[in-house]
Amino acid sequence: MNCILLPCDNFSADTAYIDDAAQITHVTQVLAAAAGDRLKIGQLGGQLGTGQIASMHSDKIELCDVQLSCAPPKKLDLTVVLALPRPKVLRRLIMDMTALGVRHIVLINSYRTQKSYWQSPMLDRLDEFVLEGLQQGVDTIVPRITLAKRFKPFVEDELAGLITCRAIVAHPYSAQSFAQYVQPSSLALPSLVCIGSEGGWIDYEIDLLAKQGCTAVTIGPRILRTEAAVNVILGQWLL
Amino acid sequence: MNCILLPCDNFSADTAYIDDAAQITHVTQVLAAAAGDRLKIGQLGGQLGTGQIASMHSDKIELCDVQLSCAPPKKLDLTVVLALPRPKVLRRLIMDMTALGVRHIVLINSYRTQKSYWQSPMLDRLDEFVLEGLQQGVDTIVPRITLAKRFKPFVEDELAGLITCRAIVAHPYSAQSFAQYVQPSSLALPSLVCIGSEGGWIDYEIDLLAKQGCTAVTIGPRILRTEAAVNVILGQWLL
pLDDT at residue number B185? 65
pLDDT at A12 over 90: yes
- Chain A residues in contact with B235 (beta carbon < 8 A): 219, 231-233, 235-236, 239
Contact A233/B223, CB-based, under 8 Å? Answer: no
Radius of gyration of chain A (CA): 20
pLDDT at B58 over 90: yes
pLDDT at residue number A185? 65
How far apart CA B64 and CA B75 sit, in angstroms, is: 29
Nearest to B235 among A2, A99, A235 (CB): A235
pLDDT at A165 over 90: no
What does DSSP say about strands B15-18 and B11-12: parallel, antiparallel, or unpaired? Answer: antiparallel
How far apart CA B11 and CA A126 sit, in angstroms, is: 48
CATH class of A4-70: mainly beta
**What would the mean pLDDT of B152-173 be, rounded to a whole number?**
93
Q: How many other CB atoms sit within 10 Å of the CB of residue A79? A: 23
How far apart CA B5 and CA B236 sit, in angstroms, is: 27
How far apart CA B169 and CA A9 sit, in angstroms, is: 41
Tell me if the bond preceding B7 is cis, omega within 30° of 0.
Answer: no
**What would the mean pLDDT of B92-96 be, rounded to a whole number?**
97
Radius of gyration of chain B (CA): 20
Average pLDDT, chain B: 94
- Please state at what angle helix A87-100 crosses helix A126-137, rounded to 10 degrees: 40
pLDDT at A80 over 90: yes
Ramachandran angles phi, psi of A229, nearest 5°: -60, -45
Nearest to B222 among A101, A178, A219 (CB): A101
CATH class of A76-238: alpha beta
pLDDT at A103 over 70: yes
pLDDT at B186 over 70: no
- CATH 3.40.1280.10 residue ranges of chain A are 76-238
How far apart CA A80 and CA A152 sit, in angstroms, is: 17
- CATH 2.40.240.20 residue ranges of chain A are 4-70
Contact A225/B99, CB-based, under 8 Å? Answer: yes
**What would the mean pLDDT of B184-199 be, rounded to a whole number?**
84
User: Which alpha helices (H) appear in A57-202, and where do they start and end?
Assistant: 87-100, 126-137, 151-154, 160-162, 178-181
- pLDDT tens per residue across span A119-160: 999 999 999 999 999 999 999 999 999 999 999 999 999 999
